[in-house]
Amino acid sequence: METPKPLAVVFLAVVALAAAPPAVDAWSRGTATFYGGGDASGTMGGACGYGNLYATGYGQYTAALSQVLYNDGASCGQCYQISCDPQTDARWCRQGAGPVTVSATNLCPPNYAYSGSNGGWCNPPRAHFDMSQPAWLKIGIYQGGIIPVLYQRVPCVKQGGVRFTITGFNHYELVLISNVAGSGSVASAWVQGANTNRVPMSRNWGANWQSLAGIAGQALTFGVTSTGGQSIVFPYVVPQNWVFGMSFTSNLQFSY
């Protein structure tokens, strides 16, 4: 087996000042409900594919996004600061409460009949957050059920490096890219085996990216570009002896 050649770690800035902190979005108006129980155990899994949110670093403070915010999975992992909006309706706002920060881990599906648990709140063009109950209770009173909110995108803060979890079979690889800081979400990715050329990956669903490169049995390098515009190469983050179902944590992380 040929010894893999070292690759340079590349940080590609597409903003004028790469060292400057990312600006947050302006506040927008929306609505919020809650789900998942008092311990947020009912929020596990979800349309982004992060699985056990405790184990993957997303914790209890998460939200399912309405269709317009979810953006076909492109928003998976993004972080939002959410505050109850007393100027719209103060009855169910927790008095004196500051904003809470949540990670996008799920889709709140549209319900065009305006029936069922979400009452149509997740239908386009509504900006709605179905928050974990622990996060929602930081800003709202339980009896309210649904509250008006102000929200904005904020940078994500994560412990440790970006993680890659590989599933699939034979020549089909499905890679979950998780624990992404900075913008929190992935815009594009590629993979390269120790003995093969670089191959672009495509989003399969949520935060899962697919490849048909036939790279089993090789040490793998990934290149990932965040939605904030930062590109990082993760040289041989996956060793040669990997098998489907394994996860690997890098020592690199996004800042925007």
Q: Is the pLDDT of residue 13 over 50?
A: no
Residues 34 and 131: beta-carbon distance below 8 Å: yes
Q: Is the pLDDT of residue 8 over 60?
A: no
pTM for the complete prediction? 0.87
Q: Which CATH number fits domain 162-250: 1.20.120.790, 2.60.40.760, 3.40.50.150, 1.20.1250.20?
A: 2.60.40.760
- pLDDT of 114-150, one tens digit each? 545 566 889 999 999 999 999 999 999 999 889 999 9
Q: Is the pLDDT of residue 21 over 70?
A: no
* Domain residue spans of the chain: 28-154, 162-250
CATH class for domain 28-154? mainly beta
Query: Could you tell me the two tokens for 51?
Result: 């699985």
Q: Is the pLDDT of residue 18 over 50?
A: no
214: pLDDT confidence band, cut at 50, 70 and 90?
A: confident
Mean pLDDT computed over 50-68? 94
28-154 and 162-250 share one CATH topology? no
**Max CA-CA distance within the chain?**
68
Q: How far does Cα 67 stand from its chain's mean position?
A: 15
- pLDDT of 177-211, one tens digit each? 999 999 999 999 999 999 999 999 999 999 999 99
CA angle 40, 44, 49 (to 5 degrees): 145
Query: Could you tell me the two tokens for 178?
Result: 């998780």
Q: What is the pLDDT of residue 22?
A: 40
Q: How far does Cα 169 stand from its chain's mean position?
A: 24
Q: What is the pLDDT of residue 118?
A: 60
Mean pLDDT computed over 236-242? 97
